[in-house]
Amino acid sequence: MKTVAEFAIGREQLLDASGAPTGPLPAFAGDPEQLLAMYRMMVLCRLFDTKAVNLQRTGKLGTYAPCTGHEATHVGVAAAMRAEDVAVPVYREYGTLLWRGVTMTEILTYWAGDERGNDFAASREDFPWCVPIGSQSPHAAGIAMAFKVRGQPRCAVCYIGDGGTSQGAFHEAVNLAGAQCLPVVYVIVNNGWAISVPAREQTAAQTFAQKGLGNGVPGVQVDGNDVLGVRKVMEEALARARAGDGPTVVEAVTYRLSDHTTADDASRYRPAGELEAAWKLEPLLRTRAFLEARGLWDETRETQLRAECATRIEAAVRGYQGRAPAGTDAMFDHLYANPPAALEQQKAIARRFGGGEPH
Amino acid sequence: MPRVTLVEGINLALARALADDPDVVVIGEDVGLNGGVFRATVGLQQRFGKLRVQDTPLAEGLIAGMSIGMASQGLKVVAEIQFMGFLYPALDQIANHMARLRNRTRGRLTCPVVIRMPHGGGIHAPEHHSESLEVLLCHHAGLRVVCPGTPAAAYGLLLAAIREPDPVLFLEPTRLYRLAKQDILDDGVALPLDRAQLLQQGDDVTLVSWGAMLHETRQAAERLAQEKIGCELIDLTSLSPIDWDCILESVAHTGRLVIVHEAARTAGLGAEIAATVAERALHDLLAPVQRVTGYDTVMPYFAMERTYIPGVARIVEAVRNSMKG
């Protein structure tokens, strides 16, 4: 039998776990401002995440999906995107959306149970958080299709988890993207776990990057704890997409250093020792070591940055906690541009009974 | 003034919308060169090109999902689902995202999408090709559900649906696609959404129906007229929201109500209409509300489909029962 098609999956890594470059670095790594901006955002994310979990533990936030461990992936992706591109997140990619102008107050407003948190004031075209797993995938393909129809040099970037790739919607979307050569990049964040199911039980595939291959879409794997590697791979994928050369599936291999959400307890299913081992590979340490080796960072700057972050986070907390409740009309007012007459009757009932009984 | 069938009326409306508005894009399975399995999109790809009239991969969930992304960028997507029985894979996207995107972003992102699909049986089609699933859609806030009963309504309401800034599910009565012709003016004028049509005035009983069942309901009204029973005939047209004023006004006049639909009886739209009339107009009623519906069975394969679909005799009997009440 002769071979009629062949495939390969490459893996990119620019920084090892100690922060040492594995080889020559891309041009952006020569710009201290860009390096520092990425590191600062990663630290902000870590501190914001810690605060958000604490807010949930003290009853001031609903169920929250933490991002600790994912900072390099989320920030590396965002740094490679242009402002006019569109992000289609899952529900924990704070590093990406904060980079793009979404505010911490908006994120906290959302997790406090209020849809106003999805009304991003800055990045107006980015999609809101997506809870039904994988269902965001076709939205990104559709956004990319709109860019193609209008001839705009813009790209969509769609996140999905390792578990999410088991959904049909993901494969349908990647298939369309390939068939129509759409300007979209699918970023599979392989953090090892889909709630309690480990990635190795999710699929027989050796990599998640190869999930695009069956649909004719090239895939590449990157160390998701290496912000430089993620950014490089994303810059290449976005350049390809923008040039009209079609989609890419990127697998960022990282680790969920938290529970799935604050409603989860990973100690029920995660093997002893795995978490400790993963902490040795986490992204902030290696990025800081890399910056320090280049003389761009030190303990004083770290202390100063953390203090600045704490101040910003406290302001964001005050922002969402100080927000007046939306009022019962809000439940009705955004369903339609031209609301049906009968809704007015129900709106009046809701007004009369107000916020309901305490529970 | 062209004399056209219902499916030709849809084709005219699509061509008009594509010509008038560069943001309109038609997508679906086989809608391109083939012109759709019912030929609703025939000639459109040749005229407007492959970017504006697109064949999609064979995946209904994708068709609904990609429409959301396209619409969020301001395109006005008219998607075709080939038969209503294939709506199910698309429901996840329709219910979880299309219906909710405006609400959950507080108006920041919207979904000006029309999803067209053939509705109902009676054309000797394969299994899963003859379903009447309107209640699956009517249950979701954020959607409109429209079912035109004539070529002129199909033309004018499809234009209105495409111009509406929110999602509209557009159910096309398969049985009526080529049943009758009507003169329509291809003038680009839309008909108002959210309205029922009073097709015929009468003094004794109100008949409410929609889609292909209007055909049998109209025949029943003609037969009943020979018995001196005057039927007021309402084409519901807008299945969500329902034009309650039209129904309640008619029931106030006739005192009797018979609802005719092809979909299964239990939790069908007839139940909603009967319940609302009971709530708001019980004292107008001279007799119990009657429902003539499909049975609570699976929509049978075509050998038995006429057993399932309510016939004229069932409607006539229900009206006679109502007159006894």
Q: Which residues pair with B235 in a beta bridge?
A: B197, B209
- Residue B53 phi/psi, 5-degree rounding, is -135, 95
Distance CA A288, CA A36 (A): 9
Residue B45 contacts A where some CB pair is shorter than 8 Å: no
Give the model's confidence band at A359: pLDDT under 50 very low, under 70 low, under 90 confident, else very high: low
Residue A335 contacts B where some CB pair is shorter than 8 Å: yes
Percentage of chain B exceeding pLDDT 70: 100
Runs of H (alpha helix) within chain A: 32-57, 71-80, 94-99, 104-111, 137-150, 168-179, 199-202, 227-242, 274-279, 283-293, 299-321, 330-333, 341-353
Percentage of chain B exceeding pLDDT 90: 99
Inter-residue contact B105 to B111 (CB < 8 Å): no
Give Cα A354 distance to the centre of its chain.
Answer: 36
Surface of B (139-158) touching A: CB under 8 A: 141-142, 144
The pLDDT score that the predictor gives to residue B1 is 80
Is pLDDT at A358 greater than 70 in this prediction?
Answer: no
On whether the pTM is more than 0.95, the answer is: yes
The pLDDT score that the predictor gives to residue A356 is 65
Select from A138, A157, A162 the least CA-distant residue to A260.
Answer: A162
Domains defined along chain A, listed by start: 16-326 (3.40.50.970), 328-359 (no CATH)
Q: What is the mean pLDDT of chain B?
A: 97
Residue recorded with tokens 């609903």: A62
Q: Which residues pair with A197 in a beta bridge?
A: A194
Distance CA B114, CA B194 (A): 15
Give the model's confidence band at A151: pLDDT under 50 very low, under 70 low, under 90 confident, else very high: very high
Q: How, if at all, do strands B182-183 and A248-253 pair?
A: unpaired
Active site residue A116: no
Tens-digit pLDDT profile for residues A91-103: 999 999 999 999 9
The pLDDT score that the predictor gives to residue B141 is 97
B110, A120: Cβ pair inside 8 Å?
A: no
Contacts of A147 in chain B (CB under 8 A): 73
Is pLDDT at A198 greater than 90 in this prediction?
Answer: yes
- Mean pLDDT confidence for A303-329: 97
Distance CA A271, CA A290 (A): 31
Contacts of A137 in chain B (CB under 8 A): 65
Residue A173 contacts B where some CB pair is shorter than 8 Å: yes
Tens-digit pLDDT profile for residues B249-300: 999 999 999 999 999 999 999 999 999 999 999 999 999 999 999 999 999 9
Distance CA A177, CA A161 (A): 18
- Give the mutation candidate from A97, A126, A139 for the B interface (greatest B CB count, under 10 A): A139
Helix axes B312-324, B213-226, angle to 10 degrees: 50
The pLDDT score that the predictor gives to residue A117 is 98
Contacts of B196 in chain A (CB under 8 A): none
Residue B108 contacts A where some CB pair is shorter than 8 Å: yes
Give the model's confidence band at A355: pLDDT under 50 very low, under 70 low, under 90 confident, else very high: confident
The pLDDT score that the predictor gives to residue A247 is 98
Inter-residue contact A87 to A123 (CB < 8 Å): yes
Whether the bond between B241 and the residue before it is cis, its omega within 30 degrees of 0, is yes
**What separation in angstroms does the CA of B7 have from each of A179, B31, B42?**
30, 13, 10
Give the model's confidence band at A357: pLDDT under 50 very low, under 70 low, under 90 confident, else very high: low
- Mean pLDDT confidence for A157-175: 98
Domains defined along chain B, listed by start: 3-183 (3.40.50.970), 197-324 (3.40.50.920)
Residue recorded with tokens 């938290």: A258
DSSP A163-200: GGGGSHHHHHHHHHHHHTT-SEEEEEEE-SEETTEEHH
- Specify the DSSP element, H or E, that contains B239: strand B238-240
Distance CA B176, CA A98 (A): 53
Give Cα B312 distance to the centre of its chain.
Answer: 20
The pLDDT score that the predictor gives to residue A342 is 87
Classify the complex by whether its ipTM is higher than 0.90, answering yes or no. Answer: yes
- Side chain identity at A129, as an amino acid letter? W
Active site residue A260: yes
Select from A297, A310, A358 the least CA-distant residue to A19.
Answer: A297
Residue B107 contacts A where some CB pair is shorter than 8 Å: yes
Distance CA A87, CA A139 (A): 10
Min CA distance, B64 vs chain A (Å)?
8
Surface of A (179-198) touching B: CB under 8 A: 179
- What is the layout of strands, in order, in the sheet containing B257-264? B197-200, B231-235, B205-209, B257-264, B290-294
Active site residue A306: no
Distance CA B28, CA B115 (A): 9
The pLDDT score that the predictor gives to residue A354 is 85
Residue recorded with tokens 């004399």: B3
Q: Which of B52, B104, B244 sits opposite A115 (nearest CB)?
A: B104
**What separation in angstroms does the CA of B217 have from each of A37, A135, B234?**
70, 41, 10
Distance CA A81, CA A155 (A): 8
Q: Which of B97, B119, B129, B261 is catalytic?
A: B129
